[in-house]
Chain A
Amino acid sequence: MSGWKGLILGILFIALLSSILIYAFLGYPELGFVRPLGEFYLFNTFNFENQDWWSASPNAVTGLLWDYRGYDTLYETMVFYVGIVAVAMFFERPAKLKKTRGMTIIVRATSRLVFVFVLTSAIAITIFSVKTPGGGFQGGAIMAIAYIAILVSLSRGFLPKMGIDLEKAHIAKILGLALITVLTIIPVLYSLASGSLAYALQNQPKAWAPFGYPAFLGLSSLSGGLIIPIQLGEMIHVGMGFTIMFLLLTISDKEEEE
Chain B
Amino acid sequence: MNILLIHAPILAMLLSLLGSFLCVAIGMFSGRRAVELFSGIFTTASMIFSLLTVINVFLIDGPYVYYMGGWPPPVGIPYVIDRFSAPMSLVVSVIFSTTMIYSMRYIERDRDVKWYYSLRFLMQAGMYGLLFSGDMFHIFVMLELMGLSAILLVPFRKEVKASVEAGIKYGIYDILAISIYYLSTAMVFGMFGSMTIAEIAAKLGGYESPFSGGMFAGPSALPVIVALIVWSFTIGSAIVPQHFWLPDAHSMAPSSISAILSGLLVQVNIAVLARILFDGFAAGSIQGSALGLYLLVILGTISCLAGAAFMLVQSDIKRLIAYSTITNLGFITIGFGIGTSLGASAAYLHIINHAFVKASLFMIAGVFIHATGSRDIRALRGISKALPGTSSLYTVGTLAAIGFPPLNMFWSKLLLILSVLSAGGAYSYLVLPMVVAIVFESIAQIRLLAIIYSGEKRAVNCHPSTSVILSIGAMIGIIIVTGLVPNLLFELSGLAAGDLLNVDGYIDLVLNSLEYPTP
Contacts and interface: CB of A to CB of B under 8 A. Distances in A.
Direct contact of A and B (CB under 8 A): yes
Interface of A: 20-21, 23-29, 35-37, 40-41, 44, 50, 52-53, 67-72, 74-76, 78-79, 81-83, 85-86, 88-90, 92, 167, 170-171, 174, 177-178, 181, 184-185, 188, 191-192, 195, 197-203, 206-209, 211
Contact of A202 (B69, B138, B216): B69
Contacts of A28: 190-191, 216-218, 221
B191 A75 contact: no
Nearest to A178: B21
B129 A202 contact: no
A37 B125 contact: no
Interface of B: 3-4, 6-7, 10-11, 14, 17-18, 20-22, 24-25, 28, 66-71, 74-77, 112, 115, 118-119, 122, 125-126, 129, 135, 137-138, 141-142, 144-145, 148-149, 152, 156, 158, 187, 189-191, 193-194, 209, 211-213, 216-221, 224-225, 514-517, 519
B110 to A, nearest CB: 11
B46 to A, nearest CB: 14
B224 A199 contact: no
A208 B70 contact: yes
A178 B26 CA distance: 13
A181 B67 contact: no
28 contacts: A20-B224, A25-B221, A27-B220, A35-B213, A36-B193, A37-B212, A40-B211, A40-B212, A44-B519, A52-B519, A67-B69, A68-B69, A69-B77, A83-B148, A89-B112, A89-B156, A89-B158, A170-B24, A170-B28, A174-B21, A174-B25, A181-B18, A188-B7, A198-B70, A200-B68, A203-B69, A208-B515, A209-B70
B273 to A, nearest CB: 19
B378 to A, nearest CB: 34
Given A24-B187, A78-B145, A37 B519 contact: no
A53 B71 CA distance: 8
A65 to B, nearest CB: 11
Interface of B: prevailing SS: helix
A224 to B, nearest CB: 13
A29 B515 CA distance: 33
B67 to A, nearest CB: 6
Contact of B217 (A27, A40, A89): A27
Nearest to B189: A35
A163 to B, nearest CB: 17
Given A82-B122, A89-B115, A207-B517, A70 B69 contact: yes
Nearest to A205: B70
A86 B153 CA distance: 10
Given A24-B187, A36-B212, A199-B67, 17 more contacts: A23-B224, A28-B190, A36-B209, A68-B71, A68-B75, A72-B138, A75-B125, A75-B142, A75-B145, A82-B122, A86-B148, A89-B112, A188-B11, A199-B68, A200-B7, A208-B70, A208-B515
Contact of A188 (B14, B152, B158): B14
B230 to A, nearest CB: 14
Nearest to A29: B216
A24 B191 CA distance: 10
Contacts of B142: 75
Nearest to B137: A72
Contacts of A88: 115
Contact of B122 (A40, A78, A198, A199): A78
